[in-house]
A and B are shown apart, each in its own frame.
Chain A
């Protein structure tokens, strides 16, 4: 009998249909129809995803093979979906959080013209579709289809307001930086094909399990995959696109930063954990890059004044934590943090959208302040998000971050120290954001003050749901030390991700670490309270200026890569092409011209017509010969 999960193709099909209906019907449908269709298809996928999750929970995993995507000679790449613990978990996050963002969007984007409203929802649906392909794919090529698909959708959505030149540049930047990573991913796929002969997860992991990869091969493949992940998940050196990506509408940022896109890199490495566990070199690099990114982004976030920029850098930083977890072998902790982060980051971004909405498009927190009175729902939910991301028990972020810190500690105290420091910075800049925005006196214009209002229910209800999830979401992974059998997530994922083999830490040490981080985080929050509760505008100076300007990394990239590339292209175009190559060709031409003039054989000077007549007569002769043959 066919496996019931064979029907899982419906999950991506719904958003695809939504994309087509909203895309093609954007001029004919009403806004409410568009909103209902756009959100409805995601809800349908979410319901299907729950069903898949329950199936998987009962132990039914399945690789659904549909048709040959590419089949040449010995190489056969099926269009297949893999439904197991890991993909079903991601399905829930993507469609669940995605659905809330869709509902929120319908209200947030209501000012747009119907046509653009339809375009917006069609892109949003396509985004979810691509992400679903990415996590459902049964082999690396299908994953890659989704992988480039989300890159495309982020491009379309970041540049959604396409009249603004700056936004389009941000969109291009996102796509191109992603493509750099994509190239590495592609080469890894070629490498796998060369060694294994196909790209199905099952075959590749089996091949790896039998230790058939040489050290060079496995290191090369995993490193290339990781470079791919740095593009999509915004790690050093390819992270600079993500903060610029906030050019898109705010719900899009929530979608990119929480439910889709940036989690792709984590998913890819978690999916390939069998390969990564074979290469210590790669693991160390992943951990170091992750930690460095976490620290770098956290320092930048300290001095940003755009509400969305702070959140964007916090995403980069949190993703760094996830890579640290991956690099220390704590794959489950990384996936756990993806999940909790999806809740509180979606919450924070949607909350910031609510603030921006109330402020009439203002994003600079220096012009806000004291918003807690007028925007109480937004304020309380935002506060929940900040507590969750800061990692105070029993909020969700505590459990996932604790798992990461613990695995860093097991690996080395130095890693742990830096990670803890970064976590403290996180608490500090998040509460700085909270206090500057919501406490103190209002610093905006009178007109803005007059218009301040809480957002409609379609926006606040998603906020409340996400706030609840941000509080309770961590209970699926309570560490053994606190509750026996509390780590349900590790148990659930164990068929895909082998339990973590670190040097076990004694429970008393674990308690100590938890207490230490909690106390320090609370201290940081208090420090932020005293510093920012009555924020007064001031200009950054000295080192603060370097941070405000993001360590000048964008300027550096322009100087060492973009400008030289442009100059070199210009040199090739105006010198090599025009003078060197064409010089030779025209030289030959002149010689021919000269000799023909000397010979005076071609009286007309029209070499072409002469040749043409020649060939034409040849043609006639040939054709005649064909018909006159005996």
Chain B
């Protein structure tokens, strides 16, 4: 029942939130709901230890051969855990933010959480698509109703991108559905679908673009900085912390194993896109003056690395991607928390208008620096383990002959990341205070709590990562082998 509960708890609590009138009640209700979900997720983690996965299936639309089948395996677990950890952190840290029509706001947030849970759990293609949309629609409204001054144009752009992506995905799913042996939406049938090389190729690009928009991968990324900038920060946290992982997850669960030949054949092309996007986004990040946009571009570079690693098809790298999805989510939420604080206090996110915060708000400065350094993968922080494994995977990849080039070019982003991150810290936190920041107040208890939890997670997963790695061990091997073990690919591998 665990997988079902993971979806039902946020779904039902979200729906009830619509009818709560008092802002304080709905806020507490949402926090309570997210904590229940977290408890369920942790329970799932302990149960998963003894089994490979937790499974639930019920008949749904039998006429279409689609069933309500949800399964919690290692990769689903780590992402559901991220989803479950993220929301309490978000609710705690934004406890002091006020939203008009708070009941609708929190309801939509919880619905988005339910949708994402479904995405990570669905074992049926139609169900996956359904949850995908269920996650996106609330996000769209959260941005368009509660966003910044430019929200209308921005959400329009967001909508265009998302709409195109969903459409491509739907076409792809339906095509594969009709070519499964038993005309079923079941994931097992999808994995066994018989498709010619040509069909695989265009299906690959349909689905890849759909996922690439979500991740996002250059050049399908321009919705992201705008949307992050204009959305209320709580929503930005959801989008960047958890929702972008839907794209990465989609590639790992629905693209590679379903279309292994095309994934292998087009691997170099995708990797080139990913690595170009990483450098592109990192260079742009250096030039950003808006805190939110800077973090948005840095996130594009980080996700690009995940994409590059996935298409290097290597067990070590795959493992790195899975743990990094969790780490990236935790770290970026931490960054947003501080940015939200800064924006709420000074009414600006412009780096050039800020300065000297470390003098006035040392706790904020220390916590931000720790999280920012984790974000650039300093050893003994969580992201180092993930990035180290990912880079090892890229370098030792057997599917491409450009592995050294990819490693070096992607590696440049490690340096660029240091440049923009340290410049941000220098300009915002160090130096002398400016007029605006003379009366800065330090962080409050709720924010300290949220950031404290994040810092603990950063060091835990950075020093003793084995428990995290063990969760995704089996799935990582399965995904990798779904390509490497194919006889027609295996013979081409570079030893």
Contact = CB atoms under 8 A, between A and B. Distances in A.
B395 A194 contact: yes
A581 B219 contact: yes
Contact of B379 (A149, A585, A608): A149
A176 B222 CA distance: 28
A608 B144 contact: yes
B144 A569 contact: no
B207 to A, nearest CB: 19
A193 B426 contact: no
B80 interface: no
A59 interface: no
Interface stretch (A157-165, A297-305, A308-316): A157-165
Contact of A585 (B160, B358, B408): B160
A608 B160 contact: no
Interface residues of A, number: 64
A400 to B, nearest CB: 32
B157 A569 contact: no
Given A194-B396, A565-B283, A582-B222, A148 B163 contact: no
B141 A612 contact: yes
Interface string A226-265: 0000000000000000000000000000000000000000
Given A187-B408, A565-B283, A566-B287, A70 B465 contact: yes
B140 interface: yes
A618 interface: yes
B59 interface: yes
A172 B219 contact: no
A205 interface: no
A183 B419 CA distance: 14
B418 A72 contact: no
Given A67-B464, A68-B466, A569 B431 contact: no
B283 A568 contact: yes
B373 A152 contact: yes
Contacts of B445: none
A572 B164 CA distance: 25
B130 interface: yes
A379 B418 CA distance: 42
Contacts of A607: 159, 163
B137 A611 contact: yes
Nearest to A178: B418
B178 interface: no
Q: Which of A73, A572, A625 has the most B CB atoms < 10 Å from its CB?
A: A73
Contacts of B141: 608, 612
B137 A163 contact: no
Nearest to A618: B130
Contacts, number: 165
Interface residues of B, number: 69
B288 A573 contact: yes
Contact of B134 (A193, A589, A611, A615): A615
Interface in B331-364: 356, 358-359
Nearest to A588: B160
Contacts of A570: 287
A54 interface: no
A399 interface: no
B365 to A, nearest CB: 9
Interface in B408-436: 408, 411-412, 414-415, 418-419, 422-423, 426, 429-432
A68, A72, A169: most-surrounded residue (chain B CB, <10 A): A72
B25 interface: no
Interface stretch (B32-40, B197-205, B383-391): B383-391
Interface string B255-290: 000000000000000000000000010011011100
A458 interface: no
Interface string B438-476: 000000000000000000000000001110010001000
Nearest to B62: A629
B395 A71 contact: no
A190 B396 contact: yes
Interface string A607-625: 1100110011011001001
Contacts of B484: none
A133 B398 CA distance: 33
A168 interface: yes
Contacts of B402: none
B75 to A, nearest CB: 15
B469 A148 contact: no
B133 interface: yes
A149 B477 CA distance: 32
B316 interface: yes
Contact of A589 (B157, B219, B283, B319): B157
A589 B395 contact: no
A617 to B, nearest CB: 12
Given A72-B316, A585-B157, A586-B157, A190 B431 contact: no
A569 B379 contact: no
A73 B164 CA distance: 39
Nearest to B413: A183
A566 B423 CA distance: 13
A442 interface: no
B157 A622 contact: no
A612 B430 contact: no
Interface string A550-584: 00000000000000011011101100110001100
Contacts of A68: 466
A608 B143 CA distance: 12
A75 B284 contact: no
A58 B60 CA distance: 75
B283 A569 contact: yes
Given A169-B426, A187-B395, A190-B407, A162 B431 contact: yes
A71 B466 contact: yes
B156 interface: yes
A581 B395 CA distance: 31
B315 interface: yes
Contacts of B411: 183, 186-187
B380 interface: yes
Contact of B422 (A73, A144, A176, A186): A176
A175 interface: yes
Interface string A162-205: 11110011011001100110110011001101100000000000
A543 interface: no
Interface string A396-419: 000000000000000000000000
B155 interface: yes
B68 A73 contact: no
Contact of B430 (A168, A585, A592, A629): A168
B59 A629 contact: yes
A572 B280 contact: yes
A581 B222 contact: yes
Contacts of B155: 608
B378 interface: yes
B191 interface: no
A128 B58 CA distance: 60
A71 B320 CA distance: 11
A71 B464 CA distance: 10
Nearest to B320: A72
A594 to B, nearest CB: 13
B415 A183 contact: yes
Contacts of A162: 358, 429-431
A203 to B, nearest CB: 16
Contacts of B56: none
Contacts of A626: 58, 60, 68
A145 interface: yes
7 pairs of A and B residues whose beta carbons are closest in the complex: A190-B395, A569-B283, A145-B379, A162-B430, A569-B287, A168-B426, A172-B422
15 contacts: A67-B464, A73-B477, A75-B392, A141-B388, A165-B426, A183-B412, A186-B414, A569-B284, A572-B280, A577-B222, A586-B157, A608-B159, A618-B130, A626-B58, A629-B59
Given A71-B466, A72-B316, A159-B426, 16 more contacts: A144-B379, A162-B358, A168-B426, A168-B431, A171-B422, A187-B411, A569-B284, A577-B284, A585-B222, A589-B157, A607-B163, A612-B137, A612-B140, A616-B137, A618-B133, A626-B58
